[in-house]
A and B are shown apart, each in its own frame.
Chain A
Amino acid sequence: MSAALLIDILLWGSVFGVGLIAFRRGPPVFKASLREGSMDFVNIVPRIALGVIGSGYIAAIIPQEVISGWLGPDSGWLGVATAVVAGAATPGGPVIGFSIGTVALKSGGGVPQVVAYVVAWALFAFQRVILWEIPFMPARFVWFRCAVSVPFPFVAAAIAMLIGKP
């Protein structure tokens, strides 16, 4: 809770800071960006609403046990590949993603596999890409970024295998 508050303070502090810089460039600049930002907000809200309100339903029909089952103790590169697919397919927000990772660790999943899962989830969980990234960014960039990111959960797993457990 205090962490969330701290992040909110940092966030609005940054808005205030860059707003102040814009204001010192002159009120027209400030007003123009204020208008621009508000328009972005108004345009994005329906999509965020759909995503946030709808994501509960998507999470409810994909049972977490199915995904944590994919992260089972079968180690090796096949397990890493499965973990990557599981990370991309995990619905819902960070609570679900990290909880699945924790369950997998506790139920004997391999550490490199769990690292691959968490990294893949962070890089291209389908729900975040569709709900957050595509509304805000050019779609061409988003697909390009996702395609380019594919090797990196595997790289992370390889590093994890090399340097060992935490």
Chain B
Amino acid sequence: MSEPSPKDPAPAEDAESEPRPGRVRKPIGWSTIIIAALVAVSAGLVWRRDGTDGVLEILTHDLSLFGGILPRVLAGCLLGAFISEILPHEKVSRALGPKSGLKGLLIGTAFGAILPGGPFTAYPVASALLAVGADFGATIAMVVSWTLIGYGRAVAWEIPIMGTDFTLWRIVISLPLPVLAGALGRFVYVRLYPKPATKDDEN
């Protein structure tokens, strides 16, 4: 995505006055409530089984994990914000929008495969792409590609634990899946929501 778009330099004032497609910030939603309840019940069960020591042991371990992840979450949020700011809306709609065809799915797949980092990068960036005009199909291709053929998790976890042979073989098997998932997503989306494209056509 490091395409500096030399032919339309987008003067600063212009870029600033342009209404930014803001991302939705949900308050504490039902998914948070469900997970909180799940955590509370699990912690209660751990306490009944292992006592206070067991609860504290998991807590300290996960707190240190959380501390390690925080900077990466910040990096992911910044990456998403910068990308949604610098990618021109019309170009993204053309390259990754509903009418982008197989090429759009391939671009989404390539993008997901080269994206560095973990879930803390992939989801903010995917959300930014949706906000600047990518359709569900291309975004699905990107997310599925990141999770199945992206090198981040493979290098950090899968190769050390499952071995190089299995991992490479599994990635080869997964190669066609992001494009297929994106195509299926587009196919279903158009039939579920027959008239969504017109709203996004004006920039």
Q: Which residues of A contact B (CB under 8 A)?
A: 3-4, 6-8, 10-15, 17-19, 21-22, 24-29, 32-34, 36-41, 43-58, 60-61, 94-95, 98-99, 101-102, 105, 115, 118-119, 122-123, 128, 130-139, 141, 144-145, 147-149, 151-152, 155-156, 159-160, 163, 165-166
Q: Is the CB of B35 within 8 A of A28?
A: no
Given A26-B16, A50-B35, A98-B158, decide whether A148 and B62 contact each other with a Cβ distance below 8 A.
no
Q: Which residues of A contact B124 (CB under 8 A)?
A: 40, 136
Distance in Å: Cβ of B124 to nearest Cβ of chain A: 5
Q: How far is the CA of A32 from the CA of B166 in the complex (A)?
A: 44
What is the interface of chain B mostly: helix, strand, loop, or mixed? helix
For B192, give the chain A residue with the smallest CB separation. A144
Instruction: State whether the Cβ of B75 lies closer than 8 Å to any Cβ in chain A.
Output: yes
Task: State which of B92-100, B101-109, B148-156 sits at the interface with chain A.
Answer: B148-156
Contact between chains at A56 and B61 (CB < 8 Å)? yes
B136 engages A40 (CB within 8 Å): no
Task: List residues of chain A with CB within 8 A of the CB of B82.
Answer: 15, 18-19, 21-22, 33, 37
Q: Can you give 5 A-B contacts (C-beta < 8 A)? A: A25-B12, A28-B16, A40-B25, A41-B74, A136-B127
| A60 contacts B16, C-beta separation under 8 Å | no
- Contact between A7 and B152, CB atoms less than 8 A apart: yes
Closest Cβ neighbor of A155 among chain B residues: B177
Q: Decide: A26 and B12 in contact? CB cutoff 8 A.
A: yes
Is B133 on the interface with A (CB-CB < 8 A)? no
Residues on B with beta carbons closer than 8 Å to the beta carbon of A151: 184
Q: CB within 8 A of A54: which of B38, B140, B177?
A: B38
Residues of A within 8 A of B119 (CB): 128, 132-133
Q: Is the CB of A166 within 8 A of B39?
A: no
Asked if residues A54 and B15 are in contact (CB atoms below 8 Å), the reply is no
User: In the complex, what distance in Å separates the CA atom of A19 from the CA atom of B10?
Assistant: 16
